Amino acid sequence: CLSVSSPRSAGSIHCEWREFFWNPRTHELMGRTATSWGLILLFYLVFYLFLAGMFVLTMYIMLLTLDDYKPTWQDRLTTPGMMIRPKGDQLEISFSVSNTESWDGFVQNLNNFLSPYNDSYQVQTNDNCPPDQYFIQEDSGEVRNNPKRSCQFNRTMLEECSGVSDRFYGYSRGEPCILIKLNRVIGMLPGKDGQSPYVTCGAKREDSDKIGRLAYYPPNGTFNLMYYPYYGKKAQVNYTQPLVAVKFLNASVNTDIYVECKINSNTLADGNERDKFAGRVSFKLRINDK
């Protein structure tokens, strides 16, 4: 590799590359000597440490400006989302009545989900609040009124869908229960004049004759006002999210039913068109009889 002056050829290009990686004459690795590499790496190390320091500092200052109990902005949460349980990978409740395995997962899911709602546990941790009015626990000035207490939502309030009387939540009989919950939003007041928001479900478009009769638990499918407002995870550690159960009493079998449930409230705005889960929730129900 010494013939630098010789004309370029395939061999010398290969040679150039090899020399670029390690030049034995100048002791250069990739075109730099050890000192040169050392200096540049040291520079970048110091430089990046400084940048990291600066970033941490700005982040720290930013975090200082945040409130521990309430996020700075909630304007994206004006309409709370709604969600159903049980939930698989998709929002699809599809099972065969006769095939236990097809609904066993749903039942397990509901069992797990409802375990914190066991009456014994609720009574132990939460208060029995006066219904149909907000359970307001204001802080007095600078002094925080923490931890805040929460109201009981007992599993038995779901009656037929509590899993107490019917271990299989009606799935074994083709009368499945679906639990509906309203997303938690700190400080949200979902009703006024003592009127609690309630859930109504209906079929979409042509499925209306297939959906059959529905039963709502608690009665009228209400989210009682006493569960609001929510004070956040830090202040209200034991908050229990209220639920509404919908039981499909005689839905058509062997057919896809597109169900949409929505919240009816006199304070919450209708969600925007694009968000299919703000103030409403849609899912597919299919009950096979075999």
Partner 1 sequence: WNTESKPNYGRSDSYRVATTQDKDDRSPKKKKGAATKDMDDLKKEVPITEHKMSVEEVCRKFQTDIVQGLTNAKAAEFLIRDGPNALTPPPTTPEWVKFCRQLFGGFSILLWTGAILCFLAYAIQAATEEDPAGDNLYLGIVLTAVVVITGCFSYFQEAKSSKIMESFKNMVPQQALVIREGEKVQINAEEVVAGDLIEVKGGDRIPADIRVVSAHGCKVDNSSLTGESEPQSRSPDCTHDNPLETRNVAFFSTNCVEGTARGIVICTGDRTVMGRIATLTSGLETGKTPIAKEIEHFIHIITGVAVFLGVTFFILAIILGYSWLEAVIFLIGIIVANVPEGLLATVTVCLTLTAKRMAKKNCLVKNLEAVETLGSTSTICSDKTGTLTQNRMTVAHMWFDNQIHEADTTEDQSGASFDKSSVTWIGLARVAGLCNRAQFKAGQDSLPILKRDVAGDASESALLKCIELSCGSVRAMRDRNKKVAEIPFNSTNKYQLSVHETEDPNDNRYLLVMKGAPERILDRCSTILLQGKEQPMDEEMKEAFQNAYMELGGLGERVLGFCHVMLPEDQYPKGFAFDTDDVNFQTDNLCFVGLMSMIDPPRAAVPDAVGKCRSAGIKVIMVTGDHPITAKAIAKGVGIISEGNETVEDIAARLNIPVSQVNPRDAKACVIHGTDLKDLSQDQMDDILRNHTEIVFARTSPQQKLIIVEGCQRLGAIVAVTGDGVNDSPALKKADIGVAMGISGSDVSKQAADMILLDDNFASIVTGVEEGRLIFDNLKKSIAYTLTSNIPEITPFLLFIIVNIPLPLGTITILCIDLGTDMVPAISLAYEAAESDIMKRQPRNPFRDKLVNERLISIAYGQIGMIQALGGFFAYFVILAENGFLPSILVGIRLNWDDRSVNDLEDSYGQQWTYEQRKIVEFTCHTAFFVSIVVVQWADVIICKTRRNSVFQQGMRNKILIFGLFEETALAAFLSYCPGMDVALRMYPLKPTWWFCAFPYSFLIFVYDEVRKLLLRRNPGGWVERETYY
Give min distance, CB of 116 to partner 1, in A: 14
CA distance 95 to 110: 15
CA angle, residues 148, 72, 57, in degrees to nearest 5: 110
Which residue number, 82 or 257, has a Cβ lying nearer to partner 1? 82
Q: What strands, in cross-sheet order, belong to the sheet with 243-248?
A: 82-85, 177-182, 243-248, 214-217
Task: Please check whether residue 162 is in contact with residue 156, taking contact to mean a CB–CB distance below 8 angstroms.
Answer: yes
Q: Which is nearer to partner 1, 90 or 140 (CB)?
A: 90
Strands, DSSP E only, in the chain? Answer: 22-23, 28-29, 82-85, 92-96, 177-182, 198-203, 214-217, 243-248, 256-264, 280-288
Distance in Å, CB of 72 to partner 1, minimum: 4
Residue with Cβ nearer partner 1 (71 or 130):
71
The dihedral sign for the CA sequence 6, 10, 11, 12: positive
Using alpha carbons, select from 184, 223, 183 the residue that is nearest to residue 200.
223
- Shortest distance, position 63 Cβ to partner 1, whole Å: 7
Q: What is the DSSP letter of 208?
A: G
Binding residues vs partner 1 (CB under 8 A): 39-40, 43-44, 47-48, 51, 54-55, 58-59, 62-63, 66, 69-74, 76-77, 80-83, 87, 89-91, 181, 183-186, 230, 232-234, 236, 239, 272, 274-278, 281
Please give the distance of CA 254 from its chain centroid, rounded to a whole number: 31
Q: Minimum distance between the CB of residue 3 and partner 1, rounded to whole angstroms?
A: 16
- Give 144 or 234: the residue with its C-beta nearer to partner 1: 234
**Residue 145 or 220 with smaller CB distance to partner 1:** 145
Name which of 36 and 254 has its Cβ closer to partner 1. 36
Closest distance of CB 173 from partner 1, Å: 27
Give me the least distance between CB of 209 and partner 1, in Å please: 28
Helix (H) or strand (E) holding 18: helix 10-21
Separation between Cα atoms, residue 283 and residue 88, nearest integer Å: 11
